[in-house]
Amino acid sequence: MKKHILILLVLCSNLAFSQMNIDTTFMKFAKGYIGNGNYTRAIATFNLAINYKPYMPEPYFSRGVAKNELGDYRGAIRDYNTAIEIKPFYPDAFMNRGLAYLQLNDYEKAITDYNYAVELDPNNANIYNNRGIAKGSMKDVDGAIADYDKALKINPKFTNAYINRSNARLVKNDSQGAHKEANQAIIIRP
């Protein structure tokens, strides 16, 4: 009898382990598809992971990334919304939803999402850089420069922030400052 119980326990533990790995496998393949630019296949694979474990935020988030790459910004926002609903303290979901709103020229919603993301992850230079882009799009050039400053304080080698700050300085008719920023970006990434 003890032998049968032991075999049953081993079989159940193996079954639970293999079931746990199915969603990990789906996620691994789907992220590989994203890395290779095969966003449609990635979405189909994330759908499998979501069908298997609909309570996990990561497949929704990652499917949103794939939809964003395909230009389906509204679909991406729906996926980010679901990820945030499942995991309310998810700075990457707020940041990426802000990016989708930015693509739709809904700058106020983008900034609201970036503000939430900054509260959750104040040391993420990408959030400040993206919020700076949204502020610049709303003609808040000083606010944009302040965000690029914060991004560069966190990551002094962030070339995109130098380029964006250079563009903001051009808008302010500061061609000498813009030139200096562009040169710094070239020094970091020739």
The secondary structure of 22-68 as a DSSP string is HHHHHHHHHHHHHHTT-HHHHHHHHHHHHHH-TT-HHHHHHHHHHHH
Q: What is the pTM of this model?
A: 0.84
Least confident of 35-39, 92-96, 113-117, 167-171: 35-39
Residue 137 contacts residue 131 (beta carbons within 8 Å): no
Report phi then psi at 151, rounded to 5. -60, -40
Dist CA 121 CA 138 (whole Å) = 23
Residue 60 contacts residue 82 (beta carbons within 8 Å): yes
Consecutive H or E run containing 116:
helix 107-120
Nearest CA to 114 out of 87, 150, 79 is that of 150
Query: What per-residue confidence (pLDDT) applies to 14?
Result: 42
pLDDT band at 104 (very low <50, low <70, confident <90, very high): very high
Query: What per-residue confidence (pLDDT) applies to 30?
Result: 78
pLDDT band at 11 (very low <50, low <70, confident <90, very high): very low
Query: What per-residue confidence (pLDDT) applies to 24?
Result: 74
pLDDT band at 22 (very low <50, low <70, confident <90, very high): low
Amino acid sitting at position 158: F
Nearest CA to 141 out of 129, 133, 153, 130 is that of 133
pLDDT band at 9 (very low <50, low <70, confident <90, very high): very low
